[in-house]
Amino acid sequence: MSVPTRDEIKDKDRRNFMKLLGVMIIGAGVAGTLRSVVQNIIPPIEGGASSFPILTLYLPNGNPVSTDDLIVNNPQTVTFNFPLENEPNFLLRLGDSNNKDVEINPTEVRIPANNTKYKVPGGVGPYKSVVAASAICQHLGCIPPEIHFNPPSSSSFPGKIHCDCHGSTYDPYSGFGVVTGPTQAPLPSVVLSYDEKSDSYSATLLVGPTIYGHSSDLTGGSNITPSGKTTVTTTQ
């Protein structure tokens, strides 16, 4: 074997230096790729709360919602988010066809999907006529204005919550139970509490099936900030 010349040794060193540079450059690219892929596939801890917050309902002008702010059989849709930012709920003050408050009694509601029952507390407020429930249709997740409350005076589905997407109908007078399909589950009811002294309403809990599109009522969205209050919105 011949002894390598100085030039050959120099060439080899240069070649190795180039290879080292290559490892650095391509390594940087690989590191950037691996880092993003690994960080991406780690399942995120879903935003949410560990327990139901108690949120007082506020008007957009900053005052708490009082009984007089709620219109009996309001044809407009009034919603508030609870317990998370992306979970809207109907806020209804129910009345009869003469727009006189109707007292809503506690009731038992059946879930047709698995044929189980759960208890829904009655209305709150001075006339026990204010109720609330999730405004996300349990069939395929349509939200207002597709799903909306028809006042008792309207011609189609009077006194019912009807979803225009596929025709699911719920009865707000008896715990938002299923009237017609295709939905197989009632709307989850919000348990409201009423403070007589300050004439204000708070959302405290959800009962019934899980809100559509969420793995539990408390996950899959972000918390409502600032804590302790949620603002109602009114749409046509």
Partner 1 sequence: MTKENLIEKLMNEPQPLPRKVPDYMRQKGGIWYWTGAMIMIAFFYEVMTGVILFFYYQPSNAYISTENTLHIPYGTVIMTTHLYGAYIMIALVYIHLLRNLFVGSYKKPRQVQWLTGIVLMILTVAISYFGYSMTGDVLSADATDVGRGIANGFPVIGSYLSTIFLGNGSDISLFSRLEGWHIILAGSILILFAVHFFLAEYNTIMPSAKETGFKVPAIDKEEPSYKAWYPYNLLYMVQIAFFTIALIFIIPSLLTILPNVPALFSPLPQVAASSPLASSVPPYPPWFLLFVYKELDFQVSTSLGPFWAVVLFTGLPLAYLFAVPYFEKKDTLKITKRNIVVSTGVVGLIYLFGLSAWGALDPGIPVSNITGLLFFIIPLAVVIPLIYYLANRIELGKSSLGENAWKVYAILPILGFISILTGISVYSVIVYPTFYNYTAMIILLVILGLTSLATFALVYGVNFKTPTKKLTDKGHLVFGSIYAFLAIAIIAIISVMSPTQITSQGLYGVGMALLFTLAGAFVKLYRSHAFKE
Q: Which residues bind to partner 1, rule: CB under 8 A?
A: 14-15, 17-19, 21-22, 24-26, 28-29, 31-33, 35-37, 39-44, 86, 140-143, 146, 166, 213
Residues 6 or more apart in contact with residue 141 via CB below 8 angstroms: 212, 213
Q: Which is nearer to partner 1, 47 or 64 (CB)?
A: 47
Sheet (strand 177-180) strand order: 147-149, 161-163, 169-171, 177-180
CB of 46 to partner 1, least distance (A): 9
User: By C-beta, is 7 or 196 nearer to partner 1?
Assistant: 7
What's the closest the beta carbon of residue 24 comes to partner 1, in angstroms? 5
Q: How far is the CB of 201 from partner 1 (least distance, A)?
A: 27
Shortest reach from residue 167's CB to partner 1, in Å: 12
What letter represents residue 185's amino acid? A
Residue 229 CB burial class (10 angstroms; 0-12, 13-18, ≥19): middle
- Return the percent helix, strand and coil in the chain, to nearest 5: 20, 30, 50
Q: Which is nearer to partner 1, 29 or 226 (CB)?
A: 29
